[in-house]
Amino acid sequence: MNAKQVLLMQLEACHDQNTWFVSLINSINGLTEQQATWKPNEGSNSISEIIHHLIYYNQRHLNQLKGIENEERTGESTFRNKDGLSWEETGVRINQLMAEWKKAVDEADEVSLTKWVEVIAHLTIHTTYHAGQILYIRKLQGSWGPEAGVKG
């Protein structure tokens, strides 16, 4: 298995294919806007805020890969819904963005991909980390059923 195949497997697992863990898209499927904006306390981020954070970082690095300049945001501002998307639009956007990543990696030549292996590996870990947070929040609010999780 080469680096491209490994990265594509990682991207699929963190995007929409449950493996040893629940994928990002499966972690948000079926959520209402009220559930997505719920916080267990004021010191926590909501699921919606976490997804906006992932949109920011995944888009930022995809833009860099494509040679597109980025607006710079830091810290808590990365969790804000800067584009005013509804919850439904937010779900569509993160799904499209993750699909764009898979396409970019699939179409990349080995030389270009070699420069991005570390970034993409960290991006998948970052996405998966936040999918775990989302599941924890859903369990706290009672909106997660084990039938949607991994089997095995």
Q: Which residue has the tokens 């597109």?
A: 68
Q: What tens digit of pLDDT does each residue of 97-139 get?
A: 999 999 999 999 988 888 999 999 999 999 999 999 999 999 9
First-last CA distance in the chain = 24
- In angstroms, how far is CA 51 from the centroid of its own chain? 6
> How far apart, in Å, are the Cα atoms of 29 and each of 25, 44, 74, 133, 134?
6, 21, 28, 15, 11
Q: How confident is the model at residue 145 (pLDDT cuts 50, 70, 90)?
A: confident
Q: Which CATH class is domain 3-20+32-148?
A: mainly alpha
Tokens at 4, concatenated: 């491209």
Q: How confident is the model at residue 93 (pLDDT cuts 50, 70, 90)?
A: very high
Q: What tens digit of pLDDT does each residue of 47-67 get?
A: 999 999 999 999 999 999 999
Report helix angle 110-141 to 87-107, nearest 10: 150
CA distance 98 to 142: 27
State if pTM tops 0.85: yes
Question: Mean pLDDT of all residues in the chain?
Answer: 92
